[in-house]
Amino acid sequence: MPHVTLAGFEMTVLGYEFPDTDPAQSFYDANWLFVEAKIGSDDGFIHLKKDACLLTSELHDLVGQLEFFVKPQGHRRWRAELRTMEPYLKIHLEQDQDSGLIFAAELRVDAGRTIQEFRVQWDIDQDQLEELHRQLSRLSQQFPIKTAKENP
């Protein structure tokens, strides 16, 4: 299964929610991805089980944001984030004032009447950022954005 791991974060993409949907009929239905994700730290963990909470376009957007930052170019401050339509998965990366890199992940699990949210952040280095970019790039290649085909 295609997955991403970094520090105490793990995300697996299980596939398209509706793999046979024609994007000309419904762009969103054709591009929702089933995701499982886990966040763990010394304070606990949370597990988001099989939920269609990530669009291919959102994944590709994050990869595009990271493209610029994986090459050290003396950036002063920057940030990149996974902006999702659904509130269940968030990823945030930022370079702080001291040129340190911060990776934060947040999961929201809706279990009926109970909603659990768990957010953890880790200090990471440039090598970890580059590895995250490689993993997300592989995912985006495995799950391209489906678009309507134009008639010739």
pLDDT of residue 152 exceeding 90:
no
Q: Which domain covers residue 70, as residue numbers?
A: 3-142
Structure tokens at 143: 């799950």
Give the up-direction half-sphere exposure of residue 84: CA atoms within 13 A in the CB hemisphere. 22
Report d(CA 127, CA 138) in Å as an integer: 17
Lowest model confidence (mean pLDDT) among 47-56, 75-84, 86-95: 75-84
Q: Which residues pair with 52 in a beta bridge?
A: 34
Q: Global pTM?
A: 0.90
Report d(CA 79, CA 11) in Å as an integer: 20
As a whole number of angstroms, the longest Cα–Cα distance in the chain is: 57
The answer to whether position 15 is within a domain reads yes
How high is the pLDDT of residue 74?
59
| CATH of residue 127 | 2.30.31
The answer to whether position 152 is within a domain reads no
The answer to whether position 151 is within a domain reads no
The answer to whether position 148 is within a domain reads no
Number of domains in the chain: 1
